[in-house]
Every structure is written in structure tokens, then in C-alpha cells.
Amino acid sequence: MPANRRELFAAVMAVAAARRMKAQDGPVTIPGKRPLIVHNDRPEDLETPLKYFDTWVTPNDAFFVRQHIPRPAAIDPAAHRVQVNGMVSKPSQLSLADLEKLPQHTVPATLECTGNGRAFYSPKVPGIQWGRGAVGNAEWTGPRLGDVLKLAGVDASARHVEIDGADTGIAQTPDFLRSMPIEKAMHPATLLALKMNDESPQIHGFPVRLIVPGWDGTSWVKWITRLTARAEMSGGFFMNPGYRYPKYARPPGSAAVPAELEVIEGMPVKSTLTAPEDGSKAALAPLVIRGFAWAGENAIERVDVSTDGGARWQPAQLSPQKLPFAWRLFTLNWTPQAPGYYTLLSRATDTAGRVQPIVPAWNPSGYLWNGIDRVGVTVEKA
């Protein structure tokens, strides 16, 4: 075959292979996971189907996964070390046993990908088209990052901590490196988690992953190998231009203005309807509307639900956990009076008085979607 035909043949085969991968949409099996919605299978970008969201703690086998680069090959827990260096008086190499000897703390916190809900932006933005399920709530256990930094004698003039994980850059994608301001690093709820819901975190960053309660998932570095105290914020793609949000909103569809982009810290107030599902059918009989709501570093104060497209609103019942960082479940018992198509809405308010907007600010990367949630359900005579 001439070279150009050979190339064409190779290209056709590659497209066919890509199609085959897409076609197996349904159950790609990931060890230790129930079937999840597969956006990518290598590296794994897996979304939680709404039907698994019926508990306050999201089980590990149902928890969403976001990897930018292939995850590291099997890590030997006995050999694993976390380097602590930079602006510290006692640079150290901590084993898992060292981390286990420190006081252990448990923090329930909601982990959400910055791009969760990207699919709802109009006009569409490139990137993984996450729907409602790039989020989960877990109880994380491990030593405080602040305790580890204090033990290493962190310098009073250190302003940021850089965190690296065992995964490394590949081809066009650079290493996943992040930093956060020292205040958040020293916060008592910021942990080096060794356990997720009392189990090994496995695909969620085994053997040690950062949890940054109330901040978006990008900061929650997995497979930690190094902590470096620094004077400056880190550079690198995942700090700039990656994961930045415009300081001033621009008309939908506008290009980013680089000088106006800021690192994302914290999360807005948000609620998500999990049942009934959008486009589903229900019998003309009492039913329960369900969902969850969370608000970054604040707690959820209330959730209001409408069953008539927003004409009238009723307060939903909330689960008892009125905590910063963690979500609350909500329910509303509803008895539709007639068959027909109903638009259900949910709107959360947090303890700081922030309210979920009808229209979240469009931004070129499709981050931080938090619009009032909306689903349609057709009620039919039993």
C-alpha cells in the first residue's frame, strides 16, 4: 500500500476503534465500582447515576471519578512516602505509618468536580459534559495537613503549599500539580485522608489524598507524594490557565479575558434533584421528590421546591446534618392532582444567605454550574 493509503487506512481504523469504545457505553467494569456513566474510560472519568444518590454518605463503589491523566500504577503502601519540603526547617519523608501515628480526624465533606453540570450551559462549552453526578458526600479520615506542616517546622513566611500526586503528565497533558494558600492548608478540616467512609480510598487516591472541605474537587489532590511550602502560588497548567473563573461575567459565548481569570476557591450554593428523574413517568399517586443541597464552606439553611414551574414554592424537609462542607438531603411529599407534564424545581439557600440563581453566570470553561435545578415528569392516570 502506498504511504498515503496506509495512513488513511490507519485513520479509518482509529475512528472505528473509537466508535467501538463509545458503543460499549453501558457497563464498562471498573474494579470495585458499580456501573457508572462512562465519559472516558482511560483515564477514568465516571459519573454517578442519580439512582445511587439515596443516602447521605455516597458509597465508595458509587462515587464519581475524575482523572486528568492515567492514574499511577499500583502503589506499594509499605514503600510509599510523602515528602515535606520547601520552606520548612525539617524536611521529611513520611511513611503511611508516620501519618497513621498522628491524631486522626474525620470530616464529612462533599466533593464536587468544578465541571459538574457543564452540560447545562448554553451555549455549550467544550469539556466533559457532566450532568448532575460529578459529586458525592463522604466521611474522610486522616491527619490534618496543618499538623504535618507544623511538624516539619513550616516557615512563618510560607504563603502557599504545593501538592503533587503520583500520577505524571503524559503526551500533551502536564503533571497534575496544585497549590493552595497557607490559611486553607492550616485549616483544621483540611486533611490528608487515609480513609474514605472507613475504607481504603482506592481509585480515589490511595493511599493518601487531600481533602479541602468546601472547595471544588480540583484542590483535592489524589495519590499524594509531595507537599512543598512556598512563597508563591504554583504555576503549571492546572493553576493557570486551567481551573480559573472570570472575575467579571461576560456575555455567554465570549472568549476568556486572561487578566480577569482567578483561581477557584470555595463553592457556590446548589441543590440537585435526584428523583423523579428528568423525562420520567409517574403514576397519579403520592410520590416523593428527592435531592441534595450543599454550599461550600457554609451549611444549608433551606431548600424550596416548586411543582408548577416556579409559580409557587414549598419548603422541603431536610436531613438533620446542618454542617459546613457536607450536603443535606431533602424530600418533599407531593400528590399531583391531575395527569399531565410537570416542571419540578429546587432552590437552596445557605446559612450565609446565598440563594441558588435561576441563571448561573456562563463562563468559557463551564465551571461551577449552580442553576436552580429543573426536571420534567409526566404524571399518568394509574
Min CB(170)–ligand MTE separation in Å: 11
Min CB(151)–ligand MTE separation in Å: 23
For residue 283, the SS3 value is strand
User: Could you tell me if 380 and 284 are in contact, meaning their C-beta atoms sit under 8 angstroms apart?
Assistant: yes
Min CB(9)–ligand MTE separation in Å: 34
Indicate the residue among 43 and 357 with the shorter CB distance to ligand MTE: 43
Which of ligand MTE, Mo ion, none lies near 58, with the C-beta cut-off 5 to 8 A by kind? none
Task: Give me the residue whose beta carbon is nearest to Mo ion.
Answer: 113
Min CB(236)–ligand MTE separation in Å: 12
Min CB(167)–ligand MTE separation in Å: 5
Min CB(159)–ligand MTE separation in Å: 22
Q: Which helix (H) or strand (E) holds 7?
A: helix 3-23
Q: Is 239 in the site for Mo ion (CB under 5 A)?
A: no
Q: Is 39 in the site for Mo ion (CB under 5 A)?
A: no
Min CB(377)–ligand MTE separation in Å: 29
Indicate the residue among 114 and 298 with the shorter CB distance to Mo ion: 114
Min CB(174)–ligand MTE separation in Å: 11
Lookup: cell for 286: 403520592
Name the strands in the sheet holding 195-196, side by side, starting at the edge strand that comes first in the sequence: 105-112, 135-142, 195-196
- Centre a 10 Å sphere on the Cβ of residue 155 and count the other Cβ atoms it contains: 16
Min CB(135)–ligand MTE separation in Å: 9
Using CB under 5 A, pick the residue from 217, 296, 364, 366 that binds Mo ion: 217
Positive or negative: CA dihedral 231, 232, 238, 244:
positive
Please tell me the distance from the alpha carbon of residue 280 to that of residue 277, in angstroms, as a whole number: 6
Residues that bind ligand MTE (CB under 6 A): 63-69, 111, 113, 165, 167, 176, 204-205, 217-218, 220-223
Which of ligand MTE, Mo ion, none lies near 64, with the C-beta cut-off 5 to 8 A by kind? ligand MTE
Which of ligand MTE, Mo ion, none lies near 342, with the C-beta cut-off 5 to 8 A by kind? none
Which of ligand MTE, Mo ion, none lies near 261, with the C-beta cut-off 5 to 8 A by kind? none
The dihedrals phi and psi of 259, each to the nearest 5 degrees, come to: -65, -15
User: Which amino acid appears at position 48 of this protein?
Assistant: T
Q: Is 66 in the site for Mo ion (CB under 5 A)?
A: yes
Indicate the residue among 45 and 304 with the shorter CB distance to ligand MTE: 45
In 3D space, the residue among 264, 289, 283, 296 whose CA is nearest the CA of residue 380 turns out to be 283
- Centre a 10 Å sphere on the Cβ of residue 279 and count the other Cβ atoms it contains: 9
Which of Mo ion, ligand MTE, none lies near 176, with the C-beta cut-off 5 to 8 A by kind? ligand MTE
Task: Give me the residue whose beta carbon is nearest to ligand MTE.
Answer: 217
Which residues lie below 8 Å from residue 42, measured CB to CB, with a gap of 6+? 70
For residue 141, the SS3 value is strand
Residue 366 Ramachandran class (φ > 0 left, ψ -120 to 50 alpha, else beta): left
Spell 21-41 as b/e; 16+ CB within 10 A means b. Answer: eeeeeeebebeebeebbbbee
Indicate the residue among 64 and 369 with the shorter CB distance to ligand MTE: 64
Which of ligand MTE, Mo ion, none lies near 214, with the C-beta cut-off 5 to 8 A by kind? none
| Interface pattern 102-141 for Mo ion (x via CB under 5 A) | -----------xx---------------------------
In 3D space, the residue among 380, 278, 275 whose CA is nearest the CA of residue 336 turns out to be 380
Query: At CB < 8 A and 24+ separation, what contacts does 61-65 make?
Result: 61/32, 61/33, 61/34, 62/33, 62/34, 62/36, 62/136, 63/111, 63/136, 63/138, 63/196, 63/204, 64/36, 64/113, 64/133, 64/134, 64/135, 64/136, 65/30, 65/33, 65/36, 65/203, 65/204
Which of ligand MTE, Mo ion, none lies near 38, with the C-beta cut-off 5 to 8 A by kind? none
Which of ligand MTE, Mo ion, none lies near 187, with the C-beta cut-off 5 to 8 A by kind? none
Residues making contact with Mo ion (CB under 5 A): 66, 113-114, 217
